[in-house]
Amino acid sequence: MMDEKKRMDEFMTQCRERHVRVTPQRVEIFRQLSRCAEHPAAETLYERVRETMPAISLDTVYRTLSLLEAKHLVCTVGTVDGRTRYDATTALHYHFICDRCRSVSDIFRGEDDTFDPSIVAAGMGDVDAVNIQLRGTCRNCLDRASA
C-alpha cells in the first residue's frame, strides 16, 4: 500500500494536470475517502471530513465527489439504498456488495484474471471507467444467519 503522503502528492499533481484547483476541502475529502475502507456515501464521508474540517458543508462534498468523478480521480462503486458510494481507488478491481448489511468490499484481481474492458467493449466505443459489482450476501451475514 502506498503511503499517504505520496498518495496525496499524486492526487494534487493529477488535479493540476487536469485543471482541477487544489483546495483544502478537496484535499481533505480525498484524503478521508482514501482512508475509508467502507466505500462511503457522500453524507458518511461528510461526517468523516467534519471531524477535521468542521466548517465544511455537505454540498461541497457532493460537488467535490461529482467533480473528481468526472475527472476520474475517484470512482463510484454503485448505488446502495439510493445513495451513491465512492472509492478513491481507480485501478480496475471489483466490488462485493452485500444486500443484507449494505457493506461494500474490494475484490482485487487475481494473477490469472484476464478480464479486459477494452476487449470486451471492442467496437462499442472508448471505455473511460469500469464498474463491476457482485451483489449477494457476504460471509459475515451468511455466518450470522446460520449461527
Q: Under the criterion CB under 7 A, does residue 51 sit at the interface with DNA?
A: no
Q: Under the criterion CB under 7 A, does residue 21 sit at the interface with DNA?
A: yes
Rounded CA Rg of the chain: 17
From residue 15, alpha-carbon distances to 24, 39, 71 in Å are: 13, 21, 9
Complex with a second copy: residue 16 or 72, whichever CB lies closer: 72
**Contact between residue 55 and residue 100 where contact means Cβ atoms under 8 Å apart:** no
Rounded to an integer, what distance in angstroms lies between the CA atom of residue 29 and that of residue 63?
11
Complex with DNA: residue 41 or 104, whichever CB lies closer: 41
Chain positions 87 to 116 lying near DNA, rule: CB under 7 A, are: none
**Contact between residue 89 and residue 107 where contact means Cβ atoms under 8 Å apart:** no
Rounded to an integer, what distance in angstroms lies between the CA atom of residue 79 and that of residue 132?
12
Rounded to an integer, what distance in angstroms lies between the CA atom of residue 133 and that of residue 76?
11
Among 36, 38, 63, 93, binds DNA (CB under 7 A): 63
Complex with DNA: residue 92 or 102, whichever CB lies closer: 102
State the binding partner of 135 from a second copy, DNA, none, CB within 5 to 8 A by kind. a second copy
Tally of residues, the chain: 147
Given the rule CB under 8 A, which residues bind a second copy? 78-79, 84, 94, 96, 98-99, 105, 107, 110, 113-115, 117, 120-121, 123-142
Given the rule CB under 7 A, which residues bind DNA? 15-16, 20-26, 41-43, 53, 55-60, 62-64, 66-67, 79, 81-84
